[in-house]
Structure 1
Amino acid sequence: MDRRSHRGFTLVELMVALFALSILAVLSWRGLDGMTRAREQTRARADEVQALQVGLAQWAADLDALAAVPQMSSLEWNGRVFRVLRQAPGDPGAGLVVAAWSRRVDAGGSRWMRWQSPPVTTRGQVDDAWRKADAWAQNSSVEGGVNEVAVTGLVDWQVFYYRSDAWTNPLSSDTMQAGATTPAPAAAAAGVPAAVRAAATPDGVRIVLTLAPGQAISGDLTRDWVRPTVGGGKS
């Protein structure tokens, strides 16, 4: 019997085999790690898109639920915060809430934020919630916490109103009263809160969001809302 047919592996052969196996293990680990990273990035992108979609849906829902209160404006844009007086979500008898949208810049970056007041039932409470919404937009520590939600990274944003068959800046010319600090005499005489002055609700509202780079969706995004009672192609 040939003794060479029963010999085992030499030390050199074992070392070569182990080296080849180690290379295969490293390559396999890198492949798995790359797949994990790609899956995490895909999930993060999907979460960003979903958060933006939910935010835009909430924006439209706030406007769709505008409260019709005599001698009171249901919305206002002062260049810093967009405030909406709307029906409280859920139970129609729960009263009204003030919803506010603003861009916050802090150590965490620049983000589009939403804030909501507790339900209000009197004009005094509306006036107080209206002021708190503006204070929140100026100082994140005021009325923040559970009442606020970060929607998406935002570089800048603009708001336009549709009136007299044209999109206009709410802070310019004849719409400047929406950002004034003193009420019109007629409103003051009627006892209307100074923060919520009588003004016709625009036929439409347009927002132009400049989304932060590096997100799933970046650049300019325009969203129009048309008052349901208007209809007819104003978009």
Structure 2
Amino acid sequence: MTARRGFTLVEVLVAVLIMAVIAAMGWQGVSGMVKAREVGAEASGRTLRLSAVLGQWEQDLGAIYDSSVVPGIQFDGTALRLVRRSDNGVQVVVWAVRDGRWQRWPGAVVQRNTALREAWVESQLLAGVEPGQLTVLAGVTGWQLYFWRGQGWSNAQSSGDEVAVNEPAANPSPPASGASAPGAAASAPGEAASAPAPAPTATTRTRSLLPTGVRLQLDLPEGRITRDVMLPPTP
């Protein structure tokens, strides 16, 4: 009768080692698949977010409002300020790149010229931490804007086409009957009345016309993105 022979310790250790190697290889493959899926999902989410942000960018430029009160659009290298139409008036919107973050700040909707001037001044004092500041995209390493003027693209910070704007002087309320005009000296009895103060005159200033289009160059870790938007015709 033949004796039954079992596995030696060396054979068991070799088998265990082979199984460990196979398991490690399998785990690396699974881990690589999981990481690839995470990277793909992150890239897909970032692409969708970028698409939504650029959609908002185009909406703001497509609703731009040109007025003689404040510039319709202005770029200082860091922030782009523009005035856009809204349902109940107009609002100042600021797009800016600060510390690798692309931000959008929408001002309050206003209906009066005085409020629009105040909103424009407020937009020039933003530091990027105010309530309402929304970081629309992170990881932005830089950006540059160009305006289409005439027959080509030019730096958005360069001066554009200027046009003269006449601002009528405010007409003071007429003095009450028998009252002297403001600023007029009283005449002593028997003396000729002094000449009335000269009427205020209108003032003239210049402002830049809206460009025809805006080119955005956005520097991201994935590369540079360029987007051209044509502005609506000025009514």
1:206 to 188, 205, 215: 215
Please state how far the C-alpha of 1:104 moved relative to its aligned partner.
0.6
Q: What is the identity, as a one-letter code, of the residue corresponding to 1:97? A: Q
SS at match of 1:135: coil
Q: Which has the larger radius of gyration?
A: 2
Structure 1 counterpart of 2:28: 30
Question: 1:73-116: CA deviations, max 9, x gaps?
Answer: 3222233311111123xxx23x33221111212xxxx2332222
1:100 to 94, 102, 119: 94
1:200–1:174: structure 2 CA closer, same or farther, 3 Å change rule?
closer
1:218 to 210, 219, 223: 223
Please state how far the C-alpha of 1:70 moved relative to its aligned partner.
5.6
Structure 1 counterpart of 2:2: 2
Structure 2 counterpart of 1:158: 144
Structure 2 counterpart of 1:228: 232
Structure 2 counterpart of 1:112: 102
Moved over 6 A (4+): none
Question: 1:105-164: CA deviations, max 9, x gaps?
Answer: 2xxxx233222223333333323332332222xx222x24x4322324333322222222
d(CA) in 1 for partners of 2:167 and 2:140?
36
1:140 to 96, 107, 128: 128
Please state how far the C-alpha of 1:22 moved relative to its aligned partner.
1.4
Q: What is the identity, as a one-letter code, of the residue corresponding to 2:154? A: T
Structure 1 counterpart of 2:119: 129
1:51–1:84: structure 2 CA closer, same or farther, 3 Å change rule?
same
Structure 2 counterpart of 1:42: 40
Please state how far the C-alpha of 1:224 moved relative to its aligned partner.
1.5
1:200–1:42: structure 2 CA closer, same or farther, 3 Å change rule?
same
Please state how far the C-alpha of 1:186 moved relative to its aligned partner.
4.2
TM-score (norm 1): 0.70
Number of aligned residues: 198
d(CA) in 2 for partners of 1:114 and 1:24?
52
TM-score (norm 2): 0.70
User: Residues 112 and 151 of structure 1 are in contact (CA less than 8 Å); yes or no, is this contact kept in structure 2?
Assistant: yes
SS at match of 1:140: coil
User: Residues 160 and 208 of structure 2 are in contact (CA less than 8 Å); yes or no, is this contact kept in structure 1?
Assistant: no
1:64 aligns with 2:50: no
d(CA) in 2 for partners of 1:122 and 1:173?
28
Please state how far the C-alpha of 1:60 moved relative to its aligned partner.
0.9
Aligned Cα RMSD in Å? 2.9
User: Residues 204 and 227 of structure 1 are in contact (CA less than 8 Å); yes or no, is this contact kept in structure 2?
Assistant: yes
1:135–1:224: structure 2 CA closer, same or farther, 3 Å change rule?
same
Q: Please list every run of 5 or more consecutive structure 2 residues that lacks an aligned counterpart in the other structure.
A: 171-205
Identity level (%): 31
d(CA) in 2 for partners of 1:37 and 1:189?
69
Structure 1 counterpart of 2:154: 168
Q: Please list every run of 5 or more consecutive structure 1 residues that lacks an aligned counterpart in the other structure.
A: 178-183, 191-196, 231-235
